[in-house]
Structure 1
Amino acid sequence: MYGISSSVSFVKGYRKSFLINFKNLDIFHINNSEAGELIKLIKQRFFKEEEISSDLISFLKEYRMIYKINSKITQQFPPKKIEYNSKHLIEYLVLEHKDDLTVQKALKICSFFKIPHLVIVTNNDLTKKVNSFLINNSYPESVSIVSDNVKIYAQENKFRILYIKKDTKPFVHIDSMELNSSLFLESQFSHNYFNKKIFIDENGNIKNSPNSDISFGNIYSYHITKVIKKAIFNPNFKKYWKVKKDICAICKDCEFRYMCVDDRIPYQKNKHEWFHKTACNYDPYTATWKELNN
């Protein structure tokens, strides 16, 4: 008897699906018309060799997606329980840099609230200022400096400081899809773009989305820790955190839904479903990308 490896996941879309083996980082984009036998196996979890086609079992063996198991002990292997937990109240603070004061305050906010990741969008070299703070503080654990200035993003990464070229493409595009086990897990429980993030715009406004007009305070406030605390405990600030793709119209039918980071604001259609006012660059009903059709 054989069992399906716990590292194997299957994400069904309307027209196509993904078969993923996280252990080897193998991913296969397959037509649903060819996936019937595979879907049955994954639901069944354990099977005899004679129950499936020779081609499929050869494929699963080649990519180490199955293992041999004694049929008498299969009950000792219950289905894997999927959970997403984070010890941090906020995971990311994203800052649009305006001046040195906002940078200093953002660093202090990360330290006070133990926010592990700070992202600064800037065309200024902030390396010395950031590094001098990190030397004496455990948080943020990492600072990503995002820029379209080649003199900045071309620098070599330093300890806890990363330099990233600003992406000018639409937020969701074919090259933005990422096979990442942490992202894949988070996406099954939360909206992976808005969840546990604070956005601070160039005017210092504290937001739950960079595209929102609603401000929950300002970074230039004197009692900034009180302002941040009030914001993150406001239910409206967390409004989008649990709007996972599985409850969004169209997205719920997309095979990319657990690896797609989408910055579009979702709107509530009814108690059980949300929607977007703008179309995505990928259409799960035709399995095509707009950019490849232009």
Structure 2
Amino acid sequence: MISYLNIYAFCKVVKGKEKSVICDLHRGNIKFIPNEMYSILEELEVNSIGYILNKYTEEVDAINSYIDFVLKNNFGFISNEKEVFVEIENKFETPEIINNAIIEYGFEAYSLLKLVDNLNKLNTKFIELRLTKFSSNNLYELRKVLYYLSTSSVRNISILLPYDRDAHDSIVSLKEQYPIINKMVFYGFSEDVTEGDILYTTKNITQINGYNKENTIVNCIEFYYESLKYNTYYNKKISIDKAGNIKNCIKNDTVFGNVNTDNILDVISTKSFQELWTANNDKIIDVKHNPLRYNLMISNDLIKTGNNEYKIKW
């Protein structure tokens, strides 16, 4: 009886330069495999198990071990006919113009309320507000902004601010008043402490702004499909520094405009601003041969090298 090995649609086999991986996007399981196994699995996509065993008579034990590996890890199953799976819906296309925004604000230089109103018009879903300073005198303005955001397109907001003993309790109480706040980070604290979704860190704002999330691995369906076409860190992202400069990321040097003089929609609609949105990992020299390239989020600035490729700026 003819039998076939069927890999589940949510299990993706990705080839790298030295080794490959099988990523189970449903269960979050990742397993490294040799490139020889990748080649056999590729042939088993269209050929029966018997055909492959007869073709590679000297590799029977290895091929059987590959099949056992797939079955043991529940990456697939054997059947008497080749199953045709309906491809999982690509969920990387989202309707919002801007998905997430990082705002650095010092209660001067520009109007925060006007900025978030403009971001709301772009259907922005997530905001990270990095306050460069804060005291009790700034509570009124912050409350106004949070009140506005509570009825906007924004789903949640994270707030990072310097630790101030006098204003601390008032700030923490905002989280109860405005459920849209999903996380608070107090920087410049004496030690690193985590209390639920309230974090205290010894880092300062400069360290936070310059931080790169090295080796961040994500294994889920939405991330995978987005990474096939887009850069998962820069796609639909905007950052505003404390001077109101519009950037792809706070730590990047390139400035595309300023919120005081330029229309945000006009700026983000330019080809130059959106260039990094499509700089996916297949175009990044440092990782394009990494078998985990569709699971990696790279937050570094990127330098264009020609041939529509980039390298990571360290």
The amino acid that maps onto 2:115 is A
**Within 5 Å, which residues of 2 pair with 1:212-223?**
212-221=252-261
Cα 1:153/1:217, change in 2 over 3 Å = farther
Partner of 1:109: 118
Aligned with 2:147 (options 132, 136, 141): 132
Range with bigger deviation, 36-45 or 240-249: 36-45
The reply on whether 1:62 has 2:98 as its aligned counterpart is no
Kindly name which structure, 1 or 2, has the bigger radius of gyration based on alpha carbons: 2
Q: TM-score w.r.t. structure 1 length?
A: 0.75
Partner of 2:289: 253
Q: Is the 8 A contact 2:10 2:221 kept in 1?
A: no
Partner of 2:194: none
1:203 shift after superposition: 0.8
Q: Is the 8 A contact 1:102 1:204 kept in 2?
A: no
Q: Is the 8 A contact 1:49 1:57 kept in 2?
A: no
**Within 5 Å, which residues of 2 pair with 1:1-294?**
1-30=4-33, 34-42=34-42, 44-45=44-45, 48-49=48-49, 51=53, 53-71=63-81, 74=83, 76-77=84-85, 84-99=92-107, 102-122=111-131, 124=134, 128-137=143-152, 139-147=153-161, 149=163, 159-163=179-183, 165=185, 170-174=211-215, 176-221=216-261, 227-278=263-314
1:80 shift after superposition: 6.3
**What does the per-residue CA deviation read over 1:199-226, in whole Å, with 9 as the maximum and x for residues that have no partner?**
10011111123234443332234xxxx6
Q: TM-score w.r.t. structure 2 length?
A: 0.71
Q: Is the 8 A contact 1:118 1:143 kept in 2?
A: yes
Cα 1:70/1:153, change in 2 over 3 Å = farther
Q: What 5-or-longer segments of structure 2 have no aligned partner?
A: 54-59, 186-200
Range with bigger deviation, 156-165 or 208-217: 156-165
Distance in 2 of aligned mates of 1:153 and 1:8: 43
Distance in 2 of aligned mates of 1:273 and 1:267: 8
Distance in 1 of aligned mates of 2:29 and 2:74: 10
Range with bigger deviation, 88-97 or 50-59: 50-59
Distance in 2 of aligned mates of 1:83 and 1:43: 28
Q: Is the 8 A contact 2:8 2:76 kept in 1?
A: yes
Tell me the SS of whatever aligns to 1:188.
helix
1:272 shift after superposition: 3.7
Distance in 1 of aligned mates of 2:32 and 2:145: 42
The amino acid that maps onto 1:134 is L
1:44 shift after superposition: 3.5
Distance in 2 of aligned mates of 1:16 and 1:156: 46
Q: Is the 8 A contact 1:4 1:42 kept in 2?
A: no
Distance in 2 of aligned mates of 1:43 and 1:106: 54
Cα 1:36/1:237, change in 2 over 3 Å = same
Q: Is the 8 A contact 2:90 2:222 kept in 1?
A: no
Q: Is the 8 A contact 1:18 1:27 kept in 2?
A: yes
Tell me the SS of whatever aligns to 1:238.
helix
Q: Is the 8 A contact 2:150 2:180 kept in 1?
A: no
Distance in 2 of aligned mates of 1:143 and 1:21: 30
Tell me the SS of whatever aligns to 1:159.
coil
Partner of 1:283: none
Tell me the SS of whatever aligns to 1:269.
strand
Tell me the SS of whatever aligns to 1:239.
helix
The amino acid that maps onto 1:22 is L
